[in-house]
Every structure is written in structure tokens, then in C-alpha cells.
């Protein structure tokens, strides 16, 4: 850390922070913001959200007795300033690196992280659980849940508020209203919050703050009571939250410590049996000019130059899988007016922003609401439209019930574009696409495809256009493709048919998804040892190419399946087929290479795949062991 930090250098834990005078907190906040910018410029990560809550973070740790009082950050990418103030200052430049700090809150990392988070809209639910546990245990700890950065748009937040309002349990909810998530938020809640601010109470509230905060204790003077009535009547802001059982205060300038501190202090001290909602208005990217001016407020950044704001970008001219998906879908939409795109608050991450630029009336961003996105797509499908729900694998998990009941059971032709399949690097296990092969392939009426390269992805999109009687999904990884030539949009696949890539004998690798290149590298290695492999791109996890599997099971001594997914997926279905045909052990040896039964911590993707045992060296070792070879292979570093 830079020595010029007069205050931050002496802050290792919130207990140090509480020794400062209130008049010194603004200087501390300025230093905290500068340190965060400096650190993220070296590591990359989520920048804008943290910059927006610097003053709020300082105020919360100054007023509340953390970690005894429980402070829960929704999503977790707002929590970088929190990490710096809670014993992790010297490690902040290890953020999102192997064996370094997580980019999200993590219980095993610090006692100041009472609940791990990386998916949106969980803070009120988890906070209420902790508050109820305290109540049952006769503890007096305060519980503070910070929700924001668009997370209030998700249904889970409303389910939690509904429950909290009826619980007669004190929990303090901070609504961090920055009018942003990853991109501009959508939906009625955004309009509602904007309406609150339009009454101009936002600024005049500071003038009446001492009157309004007395309402917590319900000991109003006549003047104070009138002031609260004025707040309620001129701005209908509290109406929704009040109707849900919350005591609503706000909106407050989240960058004004003079306004924040007394409100938080009163919320802490008041003996109130019920939830309190403090509406705080902040600016995402606050204090860093380049973030403030950026359309996405520098939500997620690579390493960057602090002075110029210029981010490090890959020099590769090979398009990402995401962009290949978007461009291909656009071509189909130009020819077919029934093609529509759906995303759940991830337009840029899924490529739906590009689709939306071309077809603004046919792209629907439903907000952080994956459950709604899936059933919304199902409704479109009933009317003959061709909905493409572009959702990260890990986020689609949140809508599994809707995938089953609203799509699969009705056999509706919703097309799922599953981005970020497999291990994703710095975002770690919470964002890894580890389970979709399993949770989709178990469902009747589903077609499940996995792209081995960007050309195969194009063919799968092309194929999905004509699937009008059942749901389908195609999965593809994060990052760039291999630079192969892309086929035209009229090139389809035969559903349920794989492709022989290389012919050999003795051993066959049946690959599903993006490990095909590693399988080819393993083949070259084993060829030097006198073992010639057949390599097959399965393309489909469901339906299986049973004829091809039957053929290679008859012609080879060993069959190995490879996939970027958990147990119960492609390999399990192949094993089941072979068992039913009495092939296992009696006619062919079978091995399945899948993700291990553990969550793999964030690291560089190639290192994560080594840990998972799905790199080329691991494939070679697996095959040699299965053949009972005495040749020992040494893994490369």
C-alpha cells in the first residue's frame, strides 16, 4: 500500500476505524477509494459497484460492531472496500488470483463475511435467517443486509421482504439504489425508485434529517410528526415498502457521511420489532472519472491504466463464443421474424446487446429474474415464436423448476443458449457451468448439445432454429474460439449424430463439448507410445448417438468419455446405455472423465482444468492406467 495514506495505513480492522473522529471519515473514504482503484487496476475484477459504496462501507463499519453485528453484502462484488477494511488489506492485490482473495464474499475467508454470495438477491433472505436465529438464541446482534446494484429487481428479494414484514423481527435492509446493475436496470422497480427521487426529498431530506430519524423511536414531537407526514405524502416512496411491513427511511445521499451516520446510528439503537428499510442513493463508479463516464460504469474490468482508464485487451482477432452466438442469431433473425432474444440482466455478457441493437423490439431484458425469463420464453413459444433464452449455465440453475415444469413437461420449443459452460477462471466456483449437462440431460423432451469449437456452435444454432416440437440447449465456454472458419447459417446437424474426428484402434475417446482439443493433444502424445486413438465429437448428450457408441464399443478395447460437467451427465448416460446392452467390462472397458466431486477455487482456467483432471496430460494418464500400462507419465507444470 502506498505510504501516503495517512488514515488507511492504520486501519487493519473495523475496530481501528472506530477510533477515528467522525470528521476524519471523509479522508479515510477518499483513501479507501484510491486504494481500491489502484488494486483493481492490477488484478481486474468488479470496480464500479465497489466505488459506489465506499462511504456506505465506512459508515456501516463505523456505526455497527462488526463482526458481532452481521453485515451481509448482496452479490459480493460490492464488497471490495469491505474486504480492505476487514483484515484483508494486505491481500487485496491477490484478488481473483489462484490462492488469493475471492471476488465475492466467502465465509471461509473471513469472520466478517457471515454469508457467502455471488448470485444476486440473497442478502435479505439470508439476513432474515440470521436475525431469526439471533432472536431464538436471545442474542441482540444487529443484522444488516445491503441489497443493490440491480438486485432488488429479482423475485427472491420480494419473497424475502414479504416474509420479513410479517416476522416481527428487526433486520436493517440497506437499499443501495445506484440505478445500475451490470447495465441499465429494467422493469417497474427502476421507474418506481426514480419516482421516489423525483420528489426532490433526496436533497431536502438532509435538512429535516434530525426530525425524521426520531420516528424510529415513535416519540414524535408535533413538528417531527408533520415532517414525517410531509415525507410520506409528497413522495410515495415508502408506500410499497411500508405495505410490506418495513419502516422506510429515505432516500439518503449515500456519499454524504453526515447524512448516513445519524440514520444508521438510530437504526442501530432503536428498539423496533420489525424490518427497517434505509433507501440510499449512490453513483456506481463514483470517484473515478472513467468509470463515471462509462456506460457500464466499469462494472467488470480487466487490468487497466489508472491514469488513462485504458483496459488491457486481448490482441486476438478470434471472436469470442458469445459474439459468434450473437452474430449467428442475428443472421437467423433477419430471415425469420419469429426469432426473439431473452436475457436476464446480462445483455452484454450474453451478446444480447448486439441482437438488441439490430432488433430492439425482439430482445427482452427481464432483469435479474431467471425464473421469469424461462417461463416468459415458454409463453412466447406457445404462440409460435422461437425464443432464445441466453443465460449463463450457473444462473440457469436458479430457474430449474421452470425449466422442468413450464418448458420440459409441456415440450415447448424454448432454445437455451448456455454461455459460460465449464470452468470460468477468476469468478470461481459460483460462476462455473458445472451442472447443466446433468440437470438438462435427465429431462424428457430435451435435446442437449455441446460445442467443441465455434464452428460447431454455429451449426448447433442453425439446427435449433428448426426444432419446433421440444426444448433444446446448446452450451459453449467463456472466451475466444480457435479461429476456425465459420459455416453458413444453412448448415445443420443431424439430431443425435456424432462425428468421427480421428480414426484409430484400441482406444476411443468420446468427447462432449470444449475438451476436444485437449483430447487431440492427448492422442498425439499417446501415438508416440504406440497407442492410436479414435477421437469422436459426440455433439449431443441427448439424444445419444447409440449406433456410433455401439460401433466403437465393438471395435475398441477401451472407451473414454470426456465432458466439462459433473457426474450424472453425458458419461453417465453412455454408461447406462452400455450397461443395458451388456457391454460394460465383458466387451469394453469404460472410463468417464468428469469434474471431481468438489468445488474448484478461482484460478487461471488452464490451472483449474489441471486440478479438475481434464487437461491433455490427465487424459493420457487416465488411458494408460486403464490399459494397465507400466509407462509412467509425468505431468507438466
What pLDDT was estimated at residue 610?
A: 96
Give me the mean pLDDT over the 254-259 stretch. 92
pLDDT value, residue 632: 45
| Residue 49: per-residue pLDDT | 86
* CATH number for the segment(s) 8-205+237-261+273-293: 3.40.50.970
Sequence-separated (6 or more) residues with CB below 8 Å from residue 260: 55, 56, 59, 252, 253, 254, 280
Architecture of domain 499-626: 3-Layer(aba) Sandwich (3.40)
Q: Count of CB atoms within 10 A of residue 224's CB?
A: 17
- What's the confidence (pLDDT) of residue 149? 62
Q: Average pLDDT of the chain?
A: 87
Band (pLDDT 50/70/90 cuts) for residue 339 is very high
Per-residue confidence (pLDDT) for residue 536, from 0 to 100: 98
Q: Which of 70, 284, 475, 523 is catalytic?
A: 284
- The catalytic position among 34, 283, 370, 456 is 370
Q: Do 8-205+237-261+273-293 and 321-475 have matching folds?
A: yes
Q: Residue 367: its pLDDT value, please?
A: 87
312 catalytic? Reply is: no
Residues 6+ apart with CB under 8 A from 162: 244
pLDDT in tens, 149-196: 667 777 888 899 999 999 989 999 999 988 654 445 555 555 555 554
Average pLDDT over every residue of 602-618: 95
Numbers of helices and strands, H then E, in the chain: 27, 19
All structural domains of the chain with their residue ranges: 8-205+237-261+273-293, 321-475, 499-626
Q: Which of 50-64, 280-294, 553-567 has the lowest mean pLDDT?
A: 280-294
Distance spanning both ends of the chain, measured CA to CA: 32
What percent of the chain lies above the pLDDT cut of 70? 87
580 is catalytic: no
Q: So what's the pLDDT on residue 296? A: 67
Span 525-556, pLDDT tens digits = 999 999 999 999 999 999 999 999 999 999 99
Residue whose C-alpha cell reads 474460439 in the numeric block = 481
The pLDDT value given to residue 622: 96
Ranges of beta strands (E only) in 21-170 are 45-46, 70-73, 143-148
Q: Is 353 buried (19+), middle (13-18) or exposed (0-12) by CB count in 10 A?
A: middle
Q: Which residue has the higher pLDDT, 413 or 216?
A: 413
How would you label 300-309 residue by residue, b for 16+ Cβ within 10 Å and e otherwise? bbeebeeeeb
Q: Residue 356: its pLDDT value, please?
A: 97
Q: Where are the beta strands (DSSP E) in 533-585?
A: 533-537, 540-542, 556-563
pTM for this predicted structure:
0.86
Write out pLDDT tens, residues 396-436. 999 999 999 999 999 999 999 999 999 998 888 989 999 99
pLDDT on residue 187: 54
Is 284 annotated as catalytic? yes
**How far, in Å, CA of 433 to CA of 600, rounded?**
12
Q: Which CATH architecture has domain 321-475?
A: 3-Layer(aba) Sandwich (3.40)
Q: In terms of C-beta density within 10 A (0-12 exposed, 13-18 middle, 19 or more buried), how is residue 271 classed?
A: exposed
The string of pLDDT tens digits covering residues 106-129 is: 999 999 999 997 788 889 999 999
Point out the catalytic residue in the list 96, 106, 398, 523: 398
Amino acid at each position: 500500500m502506498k505510504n501516503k495514506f495517512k488514515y488507511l495505513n492504520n486501519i487493519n480492522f473495523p475496530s481501528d476505524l472506530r477510533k477515528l473522529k467522525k470528521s476524519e471519515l471523509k479522508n479515510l473514504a477518499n483513501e479507501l477509494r484510491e486504494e481500491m482503484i489502484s488494486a483493481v487496476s492490477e488484478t481486474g475484477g468488479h470496480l464500479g459497484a465497489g466505488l459506489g459504496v465506499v462511504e456506505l462501507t465506512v459508515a456501516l463499519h463505523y456505526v455497527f460492531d462488526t463482526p458481532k453485528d452481521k453485515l451481509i453484502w448482496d452479490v459480493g462484488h460490492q464488497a471490495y472496500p469491505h474486504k480492505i477494511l476487514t483484515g484483508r488489506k494486505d491481500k487485496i492485490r491477490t484478488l481473483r488470483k489462484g490462492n488469493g482473495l475471492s471476488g465475492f464474499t466467502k465465509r471461509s475467508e473471513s469472520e466478517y463475511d457471515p454469508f457467502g454470495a455471488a448470485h444476486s438477491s440473497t442478502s435479505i433472505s439470508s439476513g432474515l435467517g440470521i436475525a431469526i436465529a439471533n432472536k431464538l438464541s436471545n442474542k441482540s446482534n444487529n443484522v444488516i443486509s445491503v441489497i443493490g446494484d440491480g438486485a432488488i429487481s429479482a423475485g427472491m428479494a420480494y419473497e424475502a421482504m414479504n416474509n420479513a414484514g410479517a416476522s416481527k423481527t428487526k433486520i436493517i435492509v440497506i437499499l443501495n439504489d445506484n440505478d445500475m446493475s451490470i447495465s441499465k436496470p429494467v422493469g417497474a422497480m427502476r421507474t418506481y425508485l426514480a419516482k421516489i427521487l423525483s420528489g426532490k426529498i433526496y436533497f431536502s431530506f438532509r435538512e429535516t434529517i434530525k426530525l425524521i430519524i426520531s420516528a424510529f423511536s415513535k416519540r414524535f414531537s408535533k413538528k417531527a410528526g408533520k415532517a414525517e407526514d410531509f415525507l410520506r405524502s409528497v413522495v410515495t416512496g415508502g408506500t410499497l415498502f411500508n405495505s410490506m411491513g418495513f419502516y422506510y427511511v429515505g432516500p439518503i445521499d449515500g456519499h454524504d457521511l453526515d447524512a448516513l451516520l445519524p440514520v444508521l446510528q438510530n437504526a442501530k439503537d432503536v428498539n423496533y420489532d420489525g424490518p427497517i428499510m434505509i433507501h440510499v442513493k449512490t453513483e456506481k463508479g463514483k470517484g473515478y472519472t472513467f468509470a463515471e463516464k462509462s456506460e457500464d460504469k466499469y462494472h467488470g474490468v480487466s487490468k487497466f491504466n489508472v491514469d488513462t482508464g485504458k483496459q488491457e485487451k486481448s490482441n486476438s482477432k478470434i471472436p469470442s463464443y458469445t459474439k459468434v452466438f450473437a452474430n449467428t442469431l442475428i443472421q437467423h433473425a433477419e430471415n425469420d421474424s419469429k426469432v426473439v432474444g431473452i436475457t436476464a440482466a446480462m445483455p452484454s455478457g450474453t451478446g444480447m446487446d448486439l441482437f438488441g441493437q439490430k432488433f430492439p423490439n425482439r430482445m427482452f431484458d427481464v432483469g435479474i429474474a431467471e425464473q421469469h425469463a424461462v417461463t416468459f420464453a415458454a409463453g412466447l413459444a406457445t404462440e409460435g415464436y422461437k425464443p432464445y433464452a441466453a443465460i449463463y449455465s450457473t444462473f440457469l440453475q436458479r430457474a430449474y423448476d421452470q425449466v422442468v415444469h413450464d418448458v420440459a413437461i409441456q415440450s415447448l420449443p424454448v432454445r437455451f443458449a448456455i454461455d459460460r459452460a465449464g470452468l470460468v477462471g477468476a469468478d470461481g466456483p459460483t460462476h462455473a457451468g458445472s451442472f447443466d449437462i446433468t440437470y438438462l440431460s435427465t429431462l424428457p423432451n430435451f435435446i442437449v448439445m455441446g460445442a467443441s469449437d465455434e464452428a460447431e456452435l454455429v451449426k448447433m444454432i442453425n439446427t435449433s432454429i428448426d426444432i419446433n416440437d421440444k426444448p433444446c440447449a446448446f452450451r459453449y465456454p467463456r472466451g475466444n474460439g480457435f479461429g476456425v472458419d465459420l459455416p453458413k447459417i444453412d448448415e445443420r446437424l443431424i439430431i443425435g449424430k456424432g462425428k468421427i474426428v480421428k480414426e484409430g484402434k484400441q482406444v476411443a475417446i468420446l468427447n462432449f463439448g470444449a475438451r476436444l482439443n485437449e483430447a487431440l493433444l492427448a492422442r498425439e502424445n499417446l501415438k508416440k507410445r504406440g497407442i492410436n486413438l479414435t477421437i469422436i465429437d459426440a455433439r449431443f448428450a441427448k439424444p445419444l448417438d447409440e449406433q456410433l457408441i455401439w460401433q466403437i464399443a465393438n471395435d475398441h478395447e477401451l472407451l473414454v468419455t470426456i465432458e466439462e460437467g459433473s457426474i450424472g451427465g453425458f458419461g453417465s448416460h453412455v454408461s447406462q446405455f452400455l450397461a443395458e446392452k451388456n457391454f460394460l467390462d465383458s466387451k469394453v472397458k469404460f472410463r468417464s472423465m468428469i469434474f471431481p466431486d468438489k468445488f474448484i477455487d478461482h484460478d487461471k482456467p488452464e490451472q483449474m482444468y489441471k486440478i479438475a483432471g481434464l487437461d491433455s496430460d490427465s487424459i493420457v494418464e487416465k488411458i494408460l492406467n486403464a490399459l494397465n500400462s507400466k509407462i509412467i507419465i509425468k505431468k507438466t507444470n
